[in-house]
Amino acid sequence: MRKRPKRALIFGRFQPFHKGHLAITKWALDNGIEEIVYLVGMASENYTPRNPFTAGERIEMIRLSLEDEGLGLERFITATIRTLETSIGSVYYVLSYVPKVDVILTRNPVIGKIFQDAGVGVVKPPVFNREEWRGEKIREQMAAGDPRWMDAVTPSTAEYILSIGGIERLRHSLAKD
């Protein structure tokens, strides 16, 4: 009999943390995962068009989003890791930054394969409204002044992004000298 995974890793940039991330979280909890570790990747890069938010800001967005959804914080762990290349060696490095996990939740076949080769189970979550809930699209909407970006994140996360000047920062990072 196979043991049911209790703790899952969700590894991402979370630029910003959006409703797609929340949908995967809820799906995992509904499917027996007891704890989720969010590993904020590329923590060493910020204030760029692709990574406008700092690691600390992204952790704040995760916490605000979980609270907005009434999920509490006791079943969730956050950690950060600097920018790395994708390799089997980096998996062991990643795993040294988080508590022991049973599975990684990923749709990326390369990430899935290297974690699987390192002995970590891989669970491929379903796609949730990928057309609207995608970091690149959300950042494009933010930069363009399109208010629809606020529908892709929770209310507290939208308020937080506005409060830290996230829109202006993103626009500034896109400006040519």
What is the residue range of 166's domain?
7-171
pLDDT of residue 89: 72
As for how many domains the chain has, the answer is 1
pLDDT of residue 93: 86
Q: 169 to each of 44, 164, 172, how far by Cα in Å?
A: 17, 9, 5
Question: What secondary structure letter does DSSP report for 122?
Answer: E
Residue 29 lies in a domain: yes
pLDDT of residue 82: 83
Residue 119: give its domain's CATH number: 3.40.50.620
Q: Give one DSSP letter per residue of 5-30, joined into a string.
A: P-EEEEEE--TT--HHHHHHHHHHHH
Q: Give one DSSP letter per residue of 48-80, joined into a string.
A: SSS--S-HHHHHHHHHHHHHHTT--STTEEEEE
Average pLDDT (124-150) is: 92
Q: What is the pTM of this model?
A: 0.91
CA distance 92 to 14: 21
Average pLDDT (90-118) is: 91
Kindly tell me the burial class for residue 32, based on how many C-beta atoms sit within 10 Å of its own C-beta (0-12, 13-18, 19 or more). Answer: exposed
Residue 161 lies in a domain: yes
Residue 46 lies in a domain: yes
57: tokens are: 């800001």
38: tokens are: 């969010």
Q: What is the pLDDT of residues 16-64, one digit of tens each?
A: 999 999 999 999 999 999 999 999 989 889 999 999 999 999 999 999 9
Q: How many CA within 13 A on the CB side of residue 112? A: 9
Q: What is the pLDDT of residues 51-102, one digit of tens each?
A: 999 999 999 999 999 999 999 899 999 999 887 666 667 888 889 889 999 9
pLDDT of residue 1: 44
Does 177 have pLDDT greater than 70? no
Residue 143 lies in a domain: yes
Residue 177 lies in a domain: no
Residue 121 lies in a domain: yes
CB 37 within 8 A of CB 9: yes
Residue 2 lies in a domain: no
pLDDT of residue 130: 80
Residue 70 lies in a domain: yes
